[in-house]
Amino acid sequence: MNNGWDSSAQAWIDSMGERGERGDWGRQHVLDPVMMARVGQGRFGNALDVGCGEGRFCRMLRTAGVKATGIDPTRQLLELARERDPCGDYRLGRAERLEFTDASFDLAVSYITLIDIPDFRAAIREVARVLRPGGSLLMANLTGFTSACGDRGWVKDADGEYLHYPVDNYLREFPFWLEWSGIRIENWHRPLAAYMTAFLEAGLVLKFFSEPEPISGQAIHQERARRVPWFVVMEWQRPA
């Protein structure tokens, strides 16, 4: 499967630049505070980061006292993860077929990765399988309200003023291609109900739900982020 990440890996690395450890704007100012707060609420000894990329969140987990294993299908991103963290555990792998035995992890993380996975239902079943009873899946994702017209983006006037963000074909599931800064990747739009149903069918129980707002960053970016429901964060637990 070629969803663009192999050919876009270097452009992604270059676009991150010095922000690589802080993450892009949405991660740094919106998602990281919520994700780490949830990590701090649990008693997690080890974690699997599904789609770890360059390993940034694995390193954040370790700072929080959680032993992290990262998997990703993109070799170049894994090479950078190992370079930045020689003592870390980073493995080539896919979410749809995890190499780990049942009940191996206290925590699984999917940090804006389900949108990259065509068979996301298989990925959710696999993650549920490797969770220990009482363990949690912590997921951050783009909302369907955003991804429904993700390839179009904001509607602007002739002066470049942001007018509104469109929503169309929301109830369908379909792939679309995003391009920016030399990066070209395939994402998937799905309505929220598709994800919720998949988690429930995997036997998981919802423990936390948030559409987080930015808590820092430039005011103009914060204002724009509050106009559109950009992200969703959920924690699902495998029953004990």
pLDDT digits (tens, 9 = 90+) for 183-229: 999 999 999 999 999 999 999 999 999 999 999 999 999 999 999 99
Number of structural domains the chain divides into: 1
Q: Is 3 among the domain residues?
A: no
Q: Is 4 among the domain residues?
A: no
Q: Is 177 among the domain residues?
A: no
Q: Is 43 among the domain residues?
A: yes
From the CB of residue 181, how many other CB atoms can be counted at a distance below 10 Å? 11
Q: Which two tokens stand for residue 232?
A: 């969703």
Mind listing the pLDDT tens digit for each residue in 217-231?
A: 999 999 999 999 999
In terms of C-beta distances under 8 Å and separation of at least 24 residues, what long-range contacts does 189-193 make, across chains too? 189/115, 189/144, 189/147, 189/148, 189/150, 190/120, 190/144, 190/147, 191/144, 192/143, 192/144, 192/232
Is the pLDDT reported for residue 1 higher than 70? no
> From CA 237, how far away is CA 240, in angstroms rounded?
9
Is the pLDDT reported for residue 2 higher than 90? no
- The structure's pTM equals 0.95
CATH number at residue 47: 3.40.50.150
Q: Is 154 among the domain residues?
A: no
Q: Is 171 among the domain residues?
A: no
Q: Is 12 among the domain residues?
A: no
Mind listing the pLDDT tens digit for each residue in 114-127?
A: 999 999 999 999 99
Is the pLDDT reported for residue 43 higher than 70? yes
Is the pLDDT reported for residue 44 higher than 60? yes
The residue among 122, 120, 114, 108 whose CA lies nearest residue 35 is 108
From the CB of residue 222, how many other CB atoms can be counted at a distance below 10 Å? 16
CB distance 165 to 154 below 8 Å:
yes
Residue range(s) defining the domain that contains residue 214: 18-142+191-237
Is the pLDDT reported for residue 20 higher than 80? no
Mind listing the pLDDT tens digit for each residue in 114-164?
A: 999 999 999 999 999 999 999 999 999 999 999 999 999 999 999 999 999
Q: Is 5 among the domain residues?
A: no
Is the pLDDT reported for residue 82 higher than 90? yes
Interhelix angle 56-63/32-41, nearest 10 degrees: 40
Show Cβ contacts of residue 198 under 8 Å, excluding neighbours closer than 6 positions.
120, 121, 124
What is the pLDDT averaged over residues 84-98?
Answer: 96
